[in-house]
Amino acid sequence: MSRHADTPGAVDGKLFVVATPIGHLDDLSARARATLAEVDLIAAEDTRHSAALLRHHGIGTRCVALHEHNEHEASAELVRRMLAGERIALISDAGTPLVSDPGYRLVRAARAAGIAVSPIPGACAAIAALSAAGLASDRFVFEGFLPAKSAARRARLQDLRAETRTLIFYESSHRIVESLRDLVLELGDERKAVVARELTKQFETLLDGSLAELSQRVAADANQQRGEFVVLVSGADDAEVAAKLADGRRIYAILSAELPPSRAAKLAAEITGAPRKALYAG
Ligand code: SAM
């Protein structure tokens, strides 16, 4: 177990992981603002981007960059500073650091060095979207960004066919049309879904409907392809998954007598909609 700064003899420095707004600049909590104003240093994903937020809130604390390309070296230096007693806040460009954002290496290194790490919670696009989507929210899975290339994206979605929890994805304007198309191809026309766009911003839009309806709607309207997106999709129906799996296993048994197991599983999955991995663990 690592030492903790609240225990006697532990280090004085501390790392605050501070959530910042996902659009509306006023979605910064009072505690986040006070923390950012009081720390010795802010480690920001993009110092120029964060300057606007800090200026808006009258915060003059010095910033250094911590992004995916320098996280390793920057973390070592920040840990050294905290071991010397400095209090540092980590922020990303939007929302909660570490959620599809850098920071994991710094948090891990700080904890390993016995430095206390404290979250200052706030906005997160996935949770904001879930809170307003009206899809089952008791159990959900956050899948982050889907792969950029269609073949890899479809393979990932095939593995999610039997997932019964609500699925949450992040998506960018470059790929929203293609990703919705692949969601329909892999998960079918009928699942209920929500496309949450530009949350907390001027053009905030939450569209709901079946996957097929949403895919068509977004593809047909250039305005609905602009900005930042969270895509939420209802999980698979338990009974439907069980039926597809039974079909998949039957077809796999027939095909695997003639074909290599991986090929048989791929075909059985394509024919029945059963998840390939559940048919063949190879
Ligand atoms: N750390 C952030 C969080 O807590 O949500 C997410 C950072 S990730 C690099 C950026 C992605 O989050 C965007 O591509 C989009 O999918 C989603 N996102 C961020 N802000 C959003 C917003 N205002 N509306 C919809 N999606 C948003």
Domain ranges in the chain are: 14-123, 126-236, 239-281
Residues contacting ligand 1 via CB (< 6 Å): 22-23, 92, 94-96, 99-101, 124-126, 170-172, 196-201, 228-230
The answer to whether the beta carbons of residues 17 and 95 sit under 8 Å apart is no
Calpha distance 205→103 (Å, rounded): 29
Q: Ligand 1 centre and the CA of 228: distance in Å?
A: 6
Calpha distance 217→213 (Å, rounded): 6
pLDDT tens track of the chain, all 282 residues? 444 445 544 678 999 999 999 999 999 999 999 999 999 999 999 999 999 999 999 999 999 999 999 999 999 999 999 999 999 999 999 999 999 999 999 999 999 999 999 999 999 999 999 999 999 999 999 999 999 999 999 999 999 999 999 999 999 999 999 999 999 999 999 999 999 999 999 999 999 999 999 999 999 999 999 999 999 999 998 888 888 889 999 999 999 999 999 999 989 988 988 888 888 775
Residue minimizing CA distance to atom 26 of ligand 1: 229
Candidate from 130, 229, 231 with most ligand 1 atoms within 8 A of CB, to mutate:
229
Candidate from 91, 92, 131, 170 with most ligand 1 atoms within 8 A of CB, to mutate:
170
pLDDT score, position 244: 87
**Domain 126-236: which topology?**
3.30.950
Q: Sheet of 228-233: strands edge to edge?
A: 140-145, 166-172, 228-233, 192-197, 205-210
Element (H, E) at 93: none
**pTM, 2 dp:** 0.88
pLDDT score, position 277: 82
- 228: tokens are 């930042």
Q: What are phi and psi of 102, to 5 degrees?
A: -65, 165
Calpha distance 38→30 (Å, rounded): 12
The answer to whether the beta carbons of residues 201 and 21 sit under 8 Å apart is no
Query: What residues contact 12, with CB distance under 8 A and at least 6 apart?
Result: 5, 85
DSSP state of 236: P
Q: Which CATH class for the 14-123 domain?
A: alpha beta
- 167: tokens are 């699925």
